[in-house]
Amino acid sequence: MPSSPAALRRGGTGRFTPPKRSLQPAAPVGLKGRIVSAMSGERWEVSQSRSVRSGWVWRGIMVLSLMALGVAIILAGNHQSLLAVFWVVIAAGWFSVSVWVWRMHARYVRGD
């Protein structure tokens, strides 16, 4: 059993999380700096976002899709079929985004 918090963080996955006090705040960047960085060709990847690293984001989107499906069922029961179809489309979109983020999260956890 590791005795220090640093040893605990280095535990099972081999990843190391630095303590918060070791991270330096970023220096403010002016308008010219933002334009130059945007034109540099550097691409941001979704797989590096906090949404992919956290397992709660895809679960939240899944809950939203289930709630949208529930709204569609209620609307269909109230003879509002056109609105029900719209909400089914919304639910399908949120479900597909949820599965996409889940697959990226699973890939992140495996280390691919």
- pLDDT tens digit sequence for 13-55: 656 666 666 666 666 677 777 777 766 777 777 777 888 888 9
Placement of tokens 């992140």 in the chain: 108
pTM over 0.85: no
Question: Would you state the pLDDT for residue 49?
Answer: 82
* 78, two tokens: 């109230």
Cα Rg of the chain, angstroms: 21
Between CA 62 and CA 1 the distance in angstroms is 37
